[in-house]
Structure 1
Amino acid sequence: MAKTVLSVDDSSSIRQMVAFTLKSAGYDVIEAADGQDGLNKAKMKTVDLVLTDQNMPIMDGLTLIRTLRSMPNYRTVPILMLTTESSDAMKMQGKAAGATGWLVKPFDPSKLLEVVKKVIG
């Protein structure tokens, strides 16, 4: 059975690139337009991996991560930040919130697949 990835980003072009890259490698992808949308979709179906941007309207990525980590079925699910933010301070906040890893945009599709395969197979 295909693994499911929740892609949360307010940029439709980034969501499309992530979805295209992951679907071509056999993953199922659920797209969400902001953190609140991502949280709602995560509550409907537990996914194998969450990819989230940081800077989004309604709910940012760190808030989404903290909220997901407070839910029993998301305590161990890998969560990767995919964002333009690359400062060490922001990465430390991400780690403290419960992020598993960090990818910087613009992303290389082959690097994204490499990281996804490493964390969920």
Structure 2
Amino acid sequence: MESDGNRRLLVVDDDRKLAGLIRDYLTPMGYEVEMRHTGPEGLEAALASDYEAVILDVMMPGMDGFTVLRELRKSSDVPVLMLTALGEEADRIVGLEIGADDYLPKTFSSRELLARLRAVTRRSRTRGTEDIPRELTAGPLRLCEETHT
């Protein structure tokens, strides 16, 4: 099995069984998975610690995933993968507009979850590096990745 190293994830879902299944699938893949089961608990955990990504359910009682995401985006750019039972395009658009990095319907396969998780974390690692010129230096030789000179 391919491992992604020891990466910390936060799963916020009121469905304890589903959250446990996600944890049980991702742990052998090298992820350290923490779970919270309410919006306020999830928001508090996400703001208090550094995670590689947050997997966030949209429909939770009390504070829904959209509200958690809005509050989280005020001070964090951690990648967020939204889980939704909502099939409406408008709901997905709202989530993306307020800062979700990707969406996954609750009928997902474990392989798709892993692929989407890897994609959002990969994009997150490359954010902010576009303007940094990369150079390789070996003795008097320098090669600039941007200009190829």
**TM-score, shorter chain, exceeding 0.5:** yes
Alignment of 1:42 with 2:46, yes or no, is: yes
8 Å CA contact 1:2, 1:26 repeated in 2: yes
**1:83-102 residue CA offsets vs partner (Å, 9 max, x unmatched):** 11121100111011100000
Cα distance in structure 2, aligned partners of 1:118 and 1:44 = 24
For 1:92, the equivalent position in structure 2 comes to 93
- Cα RMSD (Å) of the superposition? 1.2
Partner letter of residue 94 of structure 2? Q
**1:54-102 residue CA offsets vs partner (Å, 9 max, x unmatched):** 110121000011111001xx12x21011111121100111011100000
Unmatched runs of 5 consecutive residues or more in structure 2: 123-149
Cα distance in structure 2, aligned partners of 1:61 and 1:49 = 15
How does the TM-score come out when normalised to structure 1? 0.92
Q: Which has the larger radius of gyration?
A: 2
Q: How does 1:91-110 map to 2 (within 5 A)?
A: 91-110=92-111
- CA displacement at 1:3 relative to structure 2: 1.3
8 Å CA contact 1:21, 1:113 repeated in 2: no
SS at match of 2:43: helix
Using CA pairs below 8 Å that are at least 6 residues apart, which structure has the higher relative contact order?
Answer: 1
SS at match of 1:66: helix
8 Å CA contact 2:81, 2:120 repeated in 1: no
Percent of pairs identical after alignment? 33
Q: How does 1:14-93 map to 2 (within 5 A)?
A: 14-71=18-75, 74-75=76-77, 77-93=78-94
When you count helix as a share of all residues, which structure comes out higher?
1
Unmatched runs of 5 consecutive residues or more in structure 1: none
SS at match of 1:47: coil
Aligned positions, number: 118
Alignment of 1:6 with 2:10, yes or no, is: yes
Cα distance in structure 1, aligned partners of 2:71 and 2:50 = 14
Cα distance in structure 1, aligned partners of 2:46 and 2:79 = 13
Cα distance in structure 2, aligned partners of 1:50 and 1:30 = 10
Runs of 4+ in 1 over 6 A off after TM superposition: none
